[in-house]
Chain A
Amino acid sequence: MSYMLETNNLGISFGGLKAVQDVNLKIEKNCLYGLIGPNGAGKTTLFNMLTGVYKPTTGSFSLDGENLTGLSQETINHKGIARTFQNIRLFNNMSVIRNVLVGLHNQPDFKCNPFVSMIHAKRHYENESNMRNRAKELLRIFDLEEERNNLACNLPYGKQRKLEIARALATNPKLLLLDEPAAGMNPQETAELMDTIRFIRDEFDLTVLLIEHDMSLVSGICDEITVLNFGTVLDHGSTRSVLANPEVIKAYLGD
């Protein structure tokens, strides 16, 4: 059986500090997979390795059977891994719809040579209106269509998070990495977000790996979870069994 994401002893050290070591994840296709752990456990570092921000010092990872270790961020995105950021990184000086349009930039349907754009040939206009329609469809899913001409930095926090997911989806990924998608959301927004994540998983045929501290979200939607502590895997398995593990509770709450 081939896995969507498979990591083999993935690890990274900064100088003498082993930030993450020996992580073996096996995520099946269409799975909603959770990654939890106390602060500083290395969750975001793991995301950064999977998206090419950091080059792993040990081990390897593969997407859908294809080894992606050591590739650049751009290439990894083209191969099908998209992400959102823990500290929101939208293009703040752009309107909401333009943020999504940037995400659509590399889609094969919208290829357009810079020199064609320079003379604003007919192809350029067709391309732009097609991109715009696709972007509006994506925004509609996240209920952002009305705000499409607002500046991204003027959106409320929860909507900025949603916009980041929409923008990541625009790159047409196979695997979506969500870094604390519910941070800064109230319980009602979190509940809506859970529905949205499930919906996009089915609609776009995605596999989702998410980092989250909100246990109601994790236990609500994740099929499986992995717990990281001090850069190593503490436990992994189905959500129910992992959350009942006394070791995990100890890592979170202390003795």
Chain B
Amino acid sequence: MTYFGYVKNDFKFKHIVNYVIVGAALILFTVLQLVGAIPRSTSYLLTQISYSIILSVSLNLVVGFLGELSLGHAGFMCAGAYIGCYFGGILSEYIGSKLLVLIISMLIGGIVAAVFGLIVGLPALRLKGDYLAIVTLAFGEIVRNLCKNVPWFGKSLGLSTKTYGVKLFIVGFAVILIMLILLQNLIRSKHGRAITAIRDNEIAARAMGINVTYYKLFVFVFSAFFAGVAGVLYGNYATPVLYSFFSYNYSIEILVMVVLGGMGNITGSIISATLITIANFILTTKLSGDLAAIKNLVYALILMVVVIFNNAPALQSFKEKFSFAALNDRLMEKKRAKNPEKFAADIRNDSAQWSRIPTKISMDEILSTDVVSNEGIRDEGDKPSAK
């Protein structure tokens, strides 16, 4: 994919697009909310969208940038939701400000989820690919059932929480913005480079002295933290917090958002999380009563159609012509033609090289991430047997 000898799509400002999208949404909907132009149901939809975006972007860091398949994201969310909201309930008796309580409980929920991430990560990150997926899947179920059986959390009736009200989505979008700043800065630094190096070639990354375990754990904990925060947002939106919501189906749904949006593509994750949440919301509201049975069928059909059309050659070529990166490319080409010295395609900010992150890894490839490394070991002989 070179372009006159340079890396194509050396789009320096891709991260800014994300800030603009989320920032614009935040300002627009906040203003609309303050004038009272947003109906109650829409504000709830916006809340759902905000925590879905947090979940999908944070999972994208693990699946897309680090290249490890985690199926336990709903588990981290569950831990954050139960414990954050439980403490939120206690705190609300002492602190008057609802917002302050929400922020503190989000921090508590996030930290608890991060600790869970550390506990799971330490043993699990020795595993790869399918095996890691199985362990994280099991972890999600364990956390969910643990929360179901803790007496303070209301057992199977669920933990009844105080809802924050219609303005919750404003907090949600603000959290997305903060998360994007931290996450994109991390990716665009030397640490992000190390993380993508691990995904590209773990053996070489190790040989270059990169502490693979440290970075895997770091990414795992970082994404678990934000899953916990999203859990607290969910808990402040839905009462009671039911353990059944955090089933592995929900983990898969988050993964679907990531895969649909493109691995390692943050803008894609934001957009696909939004669209899938809206689709779910519409299906749930329109298909009530007897029709509820076909909801999953329609949902599956929509997903299939989106995946097929997303890979259609016509849409691909349309994207190549009219994406931000392509427009930037054309602009840079013109500038280069005029002044080749100044715009010598020196990519100052290519630390993550967003555009080069493969955005169309098929499910097949994700599920067999260990094949690559196994081959690597195979062609250098077998591992020594333990004595």
Contacts and interface: CB of A to CB of B under 8 A. Distances in A.
Contacts of B376: 89
Contacts of A93: 196, 200, 353, 356-358
A129 to B, nearest CB: 8
B279 interface: no
A23 interface: no
Nearest to A116: B189
A9 B10 CA distance: 52
Interface in A27-78: 44-45, 48, 51, 53-55, 57, 72-74, 77-78
A78 B207 CA distance: 10
Given A94-B196, A105-B190, A151 B203 contact: no
Nearest to A92: B200
A82 B207 contact: yes
Interface string A130-163: 0100000000000000000111001000000000
A14 B382 contact: yes
Interface stretch (B1-9, B53-61, B282-290, B316-324): B1-9
B380 A45 contact: yes
B34 interface: no
B186 A117 contact: yes
B191 A98 contact: no
Nearest to A129: B348
Interface stretch (A106-114, A188-196, A207-215, A241-249): A106-114
Contact of A54 (B6, B353, B384): B384
Contacts, number: 155
A19 B384 CA distance: 10
Name the residue in A53, A72, A94 with the highest tally of chain B Cβ atoms < 10 Å from its Cβ.
A94
B347 A94 contact: no
Name the residue in B212, B356, B358, B384 with the highest tally of chain A Cβ atoms < 10 Å from its Cβ.
B384
Contacts of B208: 77, 82, 102-103, 105-106, 167-168, 170-171
Contacts of A15: 382, 385
A85 interface: yes
Contacts of A216: none
A5 to B, nearest CB: 17
B134 interface: no
Contacts of B2: 150-151, 154
Contact of A57 (B204, B212, B387): B387
Interface string A1-31: 0000000000011110001000000000000
Given A85-B204, A89-B204, A57 B211 contact: no
Contacts of B380: 44-45, 48, 53
Interface string B48-71: 000000000000000000000000
A138 B171 CA distance: 47
B346 A19 contact: no
A178 interface: no
A118 interface: yes
Contacts of B209: 73-74, 77-78, 105-106, 171
Given A54-B384, A102-B193, A114-B218, A149 B10 contact: yes
A45 B204 CA distance: 16
Name the residue in A14, A118, A150 with the highest tally of chain B Cβ atoms < 10 Å from its Cβ.
A118
Interface string B188-231: 11111110110011011111111110000010000000000000
B126 interface: no
Contacts of B185: 117-120
B370 interface: no
B203 A89 contact: yes
B206 A74 contact: yes
A87 B2 CA distance: 24
A163 B56 CA distance: 36
Name the residue in B6, B190, B347 with the highest tally of chain A Cβ atoms < 10 Å from its Cβ.
B190
A44 B381 CA distance: 9
Given A74-B211, A102-B210, A119-B185, A150 B203 contact: no
